[in-house]
């Protein structure tokens, strides 16, 4: 091998001879061509590799394959493809997404781990063939790993988390959503050895209890994002520990955690002033009292999902309109006590004119066309959901569109059921009613 130039050996350049008649190959230095290729995606690189022998060498050079996402390229790849990629890229590869590649298993990922020891971001989301063996390989060979996505890899157990804790101390973000074999023991091992964790996605990890959250709260001071959706066993006790130990928390999802109460909202207000995203859909015990404390202390809130928080009233909207000037997305679907007056306050609040982009009001039976009038000055409003708001009319939506012509309005107006046919015993229904 000759002396390297920008990661390509001089011997590789020797094949660019006068016999290669392409003007671009004569005019541009090979180092510049390599630099141009570095901006191309996987598909384009593969096409370039078929143009000529010289381009094949440059296109397949490992330095061009530092970031690979196969999701939009080919999802039915076999393990040997991953092995070939890993051998070509070697230490150059930093980011790889195999999301949805169902044919990739432990053997291919062991070869990958051995060859690509500088990998920092790896997505195996939906790679259902992998087991704890893959995490053992990553632990053994990939100490620089920072982001790992194992969502829907349902064979993953506590053994994977223990392995990662031993070999990947730099881990910052881990997604093990729907890995429902994981328990507090795995979480404990992970957080004790990975103090730099900033994002934990535990959606659908149904065996997790408060004890797991206590370990997170005690060992993850850098935590920014936490998703606990449908972790139905957790209660106020565990979440309060999170709030007290993770003061940098910006995004929390506890949708479907029906046991939580206003105590969580008080704890967030007192301990997490940087909170920007809160998702508490189907948490039916939350009330105006808790949201008042939250709004008065968390002024950076941008997105709130309050769907099926059935006890909240206009009082919550009044507090949000006063104290949360950055609010962009608000879901109030199935909040049946919300009225036009609450929307009036929201529409006149500081977030309304320049910030509010999405508001969801599905199944809010007290909402009328008056609410649409209150929202017409929300110039950034991009989408409004009005399914089953029976007092909303087409005329009201039309008036809203005269002020906001680009807004997306999603509404449903039930078809009128035709009367029974004269002289017949069977009722006739329109096709929509038959389908419903």
Residue 32 lies in a domain: yes
Secondary structure class of 283 (helix, strand, coil): coil
Residue 306 lies in a domain: yes
Residue 214 lies in a domain: no
The whole model's pTM is what? 0.86
Alpha-carbon gap, residue 238 to 208, rounded angstroms: 10
Residue 58 lies in a domain: yes
- Domain termination residue (choose one: 64, 89, 121): 64
Q: What is the DSSP string of 173-221?
A: EEE-TT-TT--HHHHHHHHHH-TT--EEE-TT-TT--HHHHHHHHHH-T
Residue 424's pLDDT is 46
Residue 172 lies in a domain: no
CATH at residue 31: 1.20.1280
Residue 285 lies in a domain: yes
Residue 52 structural domain: 25-64
- Domain termination residue (choose one: 41, 64, 87): 64
Whether 48 contacts 40, CB under 8 Å = yes
The DSSP symbol for 263 reads H
CATH at residue 404: 3.80.10.10
Residue 7 lies in a domain: no
Alpha-carbon gap, residue 422 to 127, rounded angstroms: 60
Q: What is the enclosing helix (H) or strand (E) of 408? A: strand 408-411
Structure tokens at 121: 């971001």
Q: What is the pLDDT along the chain (436 residues), one digit of tens a residue?
A: 344 444 444 444 444 444 445 777 777 788 888 788 878 877 787 778 788 887 887 877 777 778 888 766 666 688 998 998 899 889 999 999 999 999 999 999 999 999 999 999 999 999 999 999 999 999 999 999 999 999 999 999 999 999 999 999 999 999 999 999 999 999 999 999 999 999 999 999 999 999 999 999 999 999 999 999 999 999 999 999 999 999 999 999 999 999 999 999 999 999 999 999 999 999 999 999 999 999 999 999 999 999 999 999 999 999 999 999 999 999 999 999 999 999 999 999 999 888 999 999 999 999 999 999 999 999 999 999 999 999 999 999 999 999 999 999 999 876 655 555 544 444 433 333 332 2
Residue 74's pLDDT is 61
The total number of structural domains in the chain stands at 2
Residue 300 lies in a domain: yes
- Which spans in 9-99 are helix H? 10-13, 23-27, 30-37, 42-48, 53-59, 79-89
């Amino acid at each position: 091998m000759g002396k390297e130039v920008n990661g390509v050996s001089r011997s590789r350049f020797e094949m660019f001879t006068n016999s290669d008649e392409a003007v671009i190959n004569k005019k541009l230095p090979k180092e510049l061509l390599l630099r141009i290729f570095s901006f191309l995606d996987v598909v384009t690189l593969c096409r370039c590799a078929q143009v000529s022998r010289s381009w094949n060498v440059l296109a397949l050079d490992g330095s061009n394959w530092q970031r690979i996402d196969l999701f939009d390229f080919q999802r039915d790849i076999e393990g040997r493809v991953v092995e070939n990629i890993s051998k070509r890229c070697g230490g150059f590869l930093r980011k790889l997404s195999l999301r949805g590649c169902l044919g990739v298993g432990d053997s291919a990922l062991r070869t990958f781990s051995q060859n690509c020891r500088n990998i920092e971001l790896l997505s195996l989301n939906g790679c259902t063939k992998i087991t704890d063996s893959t995490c053992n390989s990553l632990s053994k060979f990939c100490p620089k790993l920072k982001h790992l996505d194992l969502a829907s890899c349902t064979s993953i157990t506590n053994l994977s988390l223990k392995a990662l804790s031993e070999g990947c101390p730099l881990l910052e973000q881990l997604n093990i959503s729907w890995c429902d074999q994981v328990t507090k023991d795995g979480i404990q091992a992970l957080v004790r050895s990975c103090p730099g964790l900033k994002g934990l996605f535990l959606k659908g990890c149904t065996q997790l209890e408060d004890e797991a959250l206590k370990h997170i709260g005690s060992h993850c001071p850098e935590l920014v994002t936490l998703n606990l959706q449908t972790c139905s066993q957790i209660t106020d006790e565990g979440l309060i520990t999170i709030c007290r130990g993770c003061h940098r928390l910006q995004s929390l999802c506890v949708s479907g955690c029906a046991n939580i109460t206003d105590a969580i909202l008080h704890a967030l207000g007192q301990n997490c002033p940087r909170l920007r995203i809160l998702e508490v859909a189907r948490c039916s015990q939350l009330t105006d009292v808790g949201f008042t404390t939250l709004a008065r202390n968390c002024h950076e809130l941008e997105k709130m999902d309050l769907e099926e928080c059935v006890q909240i009233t206009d009082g919550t909207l009044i507090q949000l309109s006063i104290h949360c000037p950055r609010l962009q997305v608000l879901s109030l679907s199935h909040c049946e006590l919300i009225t036009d007056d609450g929307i009036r306050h929201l529409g006149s609040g500081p977030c309304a004119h320049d910030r509010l982009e999405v508001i969801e009001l599905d199944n809010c039976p007290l909402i009328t066309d008056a609410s649409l009038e209150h929202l017409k000055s929300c110039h950034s409003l991009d989408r409004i959901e009005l399914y089953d708001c029976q007092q909303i009319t087409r005329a009201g939506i039309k008036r809203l569109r005269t002020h906001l012509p680009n807004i997306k309005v999603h509404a449903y107006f039930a078809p009128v059921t035709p009367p029974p046919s004269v002289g017949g015993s069977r009722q006739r229904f329109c096709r929509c009613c038959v389908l419903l």
